[in-house]
Amino acid sequence: MAKVIAVTNQKGGVGKSTTVSNLGIGLSNLGYKVLTIDLDSQGSLTASLGFPHPDKLENTIATIMTNIINEKPFGWDDGIIHHDEGIDLMPGNIELSGLEVSLVNVMGREMVLKEYIETVREHYDYILIDCMPSLGMLTINALACADTTLIPVQAAYLPVKGLEQLLKTIFKVKRQINSRLEIEGILITMVDARTTYAKDICELIKDSYARNIRIFHNNIPLSVRAAEISAEGISIFKHDPKGKVSEAYKCLAKEVSENGK
Tell me the C-alpha distance between 136 and 78, whole Å.
25
Is the pTM for the entire model greater than 0.85?
yes
Residue 193 pLDDT greater than 90, yes or no: no
Pairing type for strands 148-154 and 182-189 reads parallel
Return the pLDDT at 91.
97
- Rounded Cα distance between 234 and 158, Å, is 30
What's the pLDDT at 160?
Answer: 77
Residue 230: the pLDDT is: 66
Tens-place pLDDT, residues 129-175: 999 998 899 999 999 999 999 999 988 877 777 888 899 999 999 99
Which of 2, 16, 11 has its CA nearest to residue 230?
A: 16
Q: Tell me, what's the pLDDT at 126?
A: 98
Q: Is pLDDT at 229 greater than 80 in this prediction? A: no
Percent of the chain with pLDDT over 90: 70
Read off φ and ψ for residue 77, nearest 5 degrees.
Answer: -100, 10
Q: 72 pLDDT band (50/70/90 cuts)? A: very high
| Best-predicted range by mean pLDDT (4-8, 156-160, 161-165, 243-247) | 4-8
Per-residue confidence (pLDDT) for residue 37, from 0 to 100: 98
Q: Which residues pair with 88 in a beta bridge?
A: 35, 82
Q: Identify the CATH class of 3-258.
A: alpha beta
- Helices 137-145 + 95-103 axis angle, to 10: 80
- Quick check: 261 pLDDT over 70? no
Beta carbons within 8 Å of 40's beta carbon, 6+ residues apart:
16, 17, 92, 96, 130, 131, 132, 133
Parse the chain into domains and list their residue ranges. 3-258
If one counts every other C-beta atom within 10 angstroms of the C-beta of residue 203, the result is: 11
Residue 172: what are its φ and ψ, rounded to 5°?
-65, -45
**CA–CA gap between residue 181 and residue 159 (Å, rounded):** 22
More confident residue, 25 or 224: 25
163 to 85, 158, 159, 167, 169: CA distances (angstroms): 32, 9, 7, 6, 10
Question: Over the chain, what is the mean pLDDT?
Answer: 92
Confidence of residue 70 (pLDDT cuts 50, 70, 90): very high
